[in-house]
Structure 1
Amino acid sequence: MTDDILAHMVKETRERVAQRKRRVPLEGIRALASMQRRPHDLASALRAQSSVSLIVQIKRTDPTMAQPIEQFDPFILAQRFEHSGAAALCVVTNQQFYNGDIVDLVQVAQECHHPGYSSGCGRGGISDCGGPRRRG
């Protein structure tokens, strides 16, 4: 990724975060956060591996890719990464640059066993990935 693209992404993300902060006051965010399940401990998940721990990224596209991934299914990707030994999953929800969606994170969080990390709008947040659930 070139420096120009990265600088543009940082600028746009900062502007989007500032807009969201104006729309939803900090007290509202805290209230929403208090209603969420307690997240898994990402640091513990990474330390639990006997050798190398991987955080794998699930994303629809990338600014450097010519075309988005065809037949993108975050559940299938999460399942494959989980079975391959990933310690944690990073679900990219940034719509502007990655064509991501919060729905991808919600779906993976409902389906996976591992801690998940949303990299959606600047600073991400750890999501609680619940126990195994059947798709459908």
Structure 2
Amino acid sequence: MTTDILSRIVEQKRLEVSRARERLPETELRRLAAAPRKRRPFYDVLASAGPSGVNIIAEIKRASPSKGVIRSRLDPSLYARQYEDGGADALSVLTDASFFHGSPADLAQARSAVRLPVLRKDFIIDAYQIFESAVMGADAILLIVRILSPEQLREYMALAKDSGMDVLVEIHSTSELETAVEADARLIGINNRNLETFDTDVGRASAMGGMLGPPRVAVAESGIRNRKDIERLTAAGIFNFLIGESIVRSADPARFIRSLKGY
């Protein structure tokens, strides 16, 4: 097995998709994914800054490979309601079980508790997972440039659109940004975390924020801990923030989200 964390995750995902296909063939999954359902707009909510000048995508996150267990007895419904009460603009839910202790049930419970749009946060490497996301009820999916070919990125963005979901395309470098732009990504997440080592540098999004011009919209991801980090990144032209660990660890998630927004 390869040593870097991302490669281990991708290897595990291949096994999971293979096993899922044995349980439910892709033809049947596609049929289920095509069933009509009410979607909530994800991109539209984040396309412009809200009244506070800041949009928060609050994440439900039980654990991570780098930090271990963050909050083991996390109630997705309760946290989703607290996030909404605090003024979160959207939710992100980790559905990976092996490395983040999440599940599709976490997404379903969180979404049913609130009116916010929900992003499925996972490591998508196969079209099967896109149809799976639609069946879960996700309003948007994450596509990580580092683990996809340019052809896969374009194909999966199209499949997501056909399935009624928006896409957050994640990058970590200028070369990955070029790939995202060439694929005509509209919502681009700049991950401050290097997924190979899981080291984090908030300066990454600050430095790259100005590289995204209209009509593309930036989202700063990872390592954002307080209002000072928010102000640093808004100065770089970013107004969307995906925040997980610091919200989950807070004693009062609603109050903490309000503090991030400057209330």
TM-score normalized by structure 2?
0.42
Structure with more strand by fraction? 2
How far apart, CA to CA, are the structure 2 residues paired with 1:38 and 1:66? 35
Runs of 4+ aligned structure 1 residues displaced above 4 Å come to none
How far apart, CA to CA, are the structure 2 residues paired with 1:48 and 1:73? 30
Q: Offset of 1:117 from its aligned partner?
A: 1.4
Identical columns (%):
29
Please name the residue that 1:24 is paired with.
24
Q: Offset of 1:23 from its aligned partner?
A: 4.2
* Contact residue 90 and residue 118 of structure 1 kept, 8 A: yes
Q: Offset of 1:111 from its aligned partner?
A: 0.7
Q: Offset of 1:21 from its aligned partner?
A: 3.6
Please name the residue that 1:7 is paired with.
7
Does the alignment pair 1:127 with 2:129?
no
- 2:31 is aligned with what amino acid? A
Q: Which one has a bigger Cα radius of gyration?
A: 2
Residue deviations 1:49-101 (CA, integer Å, cap 9, x gap): 43232222101111112434143111222122222222211111111111112
How far apart, CA to CA, are the structure 1 residues paired with 2:15 and 2:98? 12
Structure 1 residues without counterparts, runs of 5 or longer: 129-136
Please name the residue that 1:116 is paired with.
118
* Contact residue 77 and residue 112 of structure 2 kept, 8 A: no
Please name the residue that 1:75 is paired with.
77
Give the aligned CA root-mean-square deviation in angstroms.
2.4
How far apart, CA to CA, are the structure 1 residues paired with 2:17 and 2:72? 29
How far apart, CA to CA, are the structure 2 residues paired with 1:121 and 1:6? 9
Please name the residue that 2:41 is paired with.
41
* Contact residue 47 and residue 53 of structure 1 kept, 8 A: no
Q: Which residue, out of 65, 70, 77, partners 2:67?
A: 65
How far apart, CA to CA, are the structure 2 residues paired with 1:17 and 1:70? 25
Of 117-126 and 34-43, more deviation after overlay is shown by 117-126
Q: Which residue, out of 91, 94, 103, partners 1:101?
A: 103
Please name the residue that 2:87 is paired with.
85
- 2:40 is aligned with what amino acid? H
Structure 2 residues without counterparts, runs of 5 or longer: 140-263
- 1:12 is aligned with what amino acid? Q
Q: How many residues align?
A: 126
How far apart, CA to CA, are the structure 2 residues paired with 1:16 and 1:101? 13
* Contact residue 64 and residue 70 of structure 2 kept, 8 A: yes
Does the alignment pair 1:53 with 2:64?
no
How far apart, CA to CA, are the structure 1 residues paired with 2:81 and 2:17? 31
Q: Offset of 1:43 from its aligned partner?
A: 0.6
